[in-house]
């Protein structure tokens, strides 16, 4: 019969392994939840953008106001180019 200390050591090793498995499972769950939230945020942004563009196209929203918002908010040259905005002056 194995010594009691050996049994305790084996059980402690097993507990450590199980704790590590639990930590990894929790990390995967958090990563999946974060990924789902990012996808939901992107989807919300796309839907809001589509709604605003539809309102501008139908005349319910002023295109000049939208262009002003975009001009004030967009700083990256690539983003500004998407909306045919001139590059910003470097200050």
**Average confidence score pLDDT of the chain:** 94
Token output for 23: 């930590």
**Percent of the chain residues past pLDDT 90, beyond the cut:** 92
Orientation angle between helical segments 4-58 and 63-73, nearest 10 degrees: 140
pLDDT of residue 91: 58
Q: What is the pTM of this model?
A: 0.67
The HSE-up count of residue 15 (CA atoms within 13 Å, CB side) is 6
- Reported as a pLDDT band with limits 50, 70 and 90, residue 19 is very high
pLDDT of residue 1: 56
Domain ranges of the chain: 4-82
pLDDT tens-digit profile of 39-57? Answer: 999 999 999 999 999 999 9
């Amino acid at each position: 019969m194995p010594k009691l200390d050996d049994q305790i050591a084996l059980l402690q090793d097993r507990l450590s392994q199980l704790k590590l498995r639990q930590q990894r499972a929790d990390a995967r769950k958090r990563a999946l939840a974060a990924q789902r939230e990012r996808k939901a945020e992107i989807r919300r942004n796309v839907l809001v953008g589509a709604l605003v563009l539809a309102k501008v196209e139908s005349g319910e929203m002023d295109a000049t106001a939208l262009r002003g918002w975009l001009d004030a908010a967009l700083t990256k040259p690539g983003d500004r180019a998407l909306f045919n905005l001139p590059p910003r002056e470097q200050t």
